[in-house]
Amino acid sequence: MPPKQQRGEATVELLLTSALRVYAEAGQQGFTVSAVTAASKVSLGSLYHHFGSFDGLAAALYIRCMEQLFDEMIVALQRSRTARTGVRALVQAYLRFTEEHRDAALFLHASAYSGYLAARAEQIKAAKAAKLAVIGAWMQPRMERGEILPVPGPLVEVLVMGPVAEAARRWLSDTYELDLGEVARILPESIWRSLRPERSESCGATGTGGGCG
């Protein structure tokens, strides 16, 4: 790799790392271009060169954190043998990421109504779609075999991600008292039940037996 390209990649990494640290320490109000350039010691011109704008930097940070979350979920999913263990693994990986990478998880959840998401909506949508496609490719044949309830992809995202994202948001907030360990004990099986085909009801609470995921 040419030295100039190496320096450019190092600057991008420094800006993204510094931006996340600034957000974690100063919150939404303190998340400003001047704070990030001061923390990173990178010039404003260099920031604009690499990201186009401060919104571009924030959107790139959001995509980076989102991809880290999905990558951990996908690894856990692809290690799973059955439909049940796969769905549970998705939920457990999301919760584990939230606990182990609190700053990134907080940035993801707090960004929901931020202007930089709207400004880079298509870019963010494409990055997320690529990750969801991998999850969909794992689930689709299991749906066809009757191991997972056959529902549209967007509904799978709602059923799996919706409850766990809300639990993570509440745990990250100062407003609620929520035990993440208790969530990890209860939520994975509860979410699996929402995707379990009706015929699995006869398999018992353990979900074992012929054809049970």
Tokens of 176: 């609620």
What pLDDT score does 210 carry?
42
Residue 209 pLDDT > 60, yes or no? no
What is the rounded average pLDDT of the residues 49-60?
95
Residue partners of 198: CB distance under 8 A and separation at least 6: 149
| Contact (CB, 8 A) for 135 and 77 | yes
Residue 203 pLDDT > 90, yes or no? no
Please return the burial class of 164, using the count of CB atoms within 10 Å of its CB with bins 0-12, 13-18 and 19+. Answer: buried
Overall residue count recorded for the chain in this entry: 213
Q: Count how many Cα atoms sit within 13 Å of the Cα of residue 110 in the half-sphere of its side chain.
A: 21
| Contact (CB, 8 A) for 97 and 167 | no
What pLDDT score does 46 carry?
96
Q: What is the DSSP string of 181-199?
A: HHHHHHHHHHHHHHHS-GG
CA distance 165 to 168: 5
Confidence (pTM): 0.88
Question: Which backbone phi and psi does 102 adopt, to 5 degrees?
Answer: -60, -40
